[in-house]
Amino acid sequence: MAATWRVVSELTAGERDARDALLASIVGDSGEEALTEAQRERLAERAPLRHALRERAGVLDGYAVLADGPILEAEPALGTFDEDLAMLLESAAAPTDLLLRNADDDVDAVLRARGWRPGRTVLHLTRGLPAPDPPHSDVTVRAFVPGRDEQAWVDANNAAFAGHPSQSAMTVERLGLRERAEWFDPAGFLFFEDHGELVASCWTKMRRTEDGVVGEIYVIFVVPGAQGRGLGRHATLEGLRSLFERGARRAELFVESTNVAGRALYAELGFEPCERVVVYRFEPPRP
């Protein structure tokens, strides 16, 4: 029997249970989060959202989050492409962004033929561990201290990521949500200080897969006034060393395709691309 999509503004208790079970099974099978952090936080905060459900013979086997606004943001579980979902989204009155985690050439061709155009692209990079030792530096490296360092990190993060589409508007409250996540480990949240001033940070996280522990360079930055001193390389290698010492044997990170300097650094450090995360935009025809 063919699967069909439908959209609801509120989930019933049964639909919520089925959704949660589906997302949990995706995590268990893939070792990856079923939704990006932004959408998981929206769900946790019970933000106003709509939900696209795909059912086959009465069983939920597909799910997507729909966040309304001037641009409708749509994200299917695991960023998996489904042409029927794209067709459904094309009926929206507003421009629509569809996030796909592994947009290969075949998917790209199908979407382009339907009038979708690729926009923001994030590259998923990976490399084995251990990595080379960090270079000598006069900066002090220490772990984040919960309850004390939040505001300093938020201020530095927002300065470093000014204008970034997803990382520029961090708040202490949002940071607190992530500190309460199961994966959070302050030992892997590194501060780099020059005479007591935060000049760079490398926040890492770890996840367990069937192939072992994978560590992620999760959020890394150098504050604007400290750039050009090699701190990006130093922070990356310190983060990789921290991940290896805590049991990771493979590392990953995500970098904007437009970040030429970052991509060059990560390639030099042995990272290789494994997939693309692409946001496709559909503009509805003008009346």
Mean pLDDT by groups of 10 residues along the chain of 287 residues = 86 96 92 90 88 94 96 96 96 95 93 97 97 93 98 98 90 94 95 97 92 94 95 97 97 96 97 95 88
What pLDDT is recorded for position 16? 96
Question: What are the structural domain ranges in the chain?
Answer: 4-121+278-282, 130-248
CA 96, CA 93: separation in Å to the nearest integer?
9
The kind and range of the H/E element at 162 are none
What pLDDT is recorded for position 179? 96
What pLDDT is recorded for position 2? 66
What pLDDT is recorded for position 208? 85
pTM: 0.91
Provide the angle, in degrees to the nearest 10, between the axes of the packed helices 172-179 and 150-160. Answer: 110
Look-up of token digits 């080379």: 132
Fold of 4-121+278-282: Aminopeptidase (3.40.630)
- Cβ(213)–Cβ(197) below 8 Å: no
Q: Do 4-121+278-282 and 130-248 agree at the fold level?
A: yes
Q: Which amino acid is at 259?
A: N
What pLDDT is recorded for position 270? 97
Superfamily of domain 130-248 in CATH is Gcn5-related N-acetyltransferase (GNAT) (3.40.630.30)
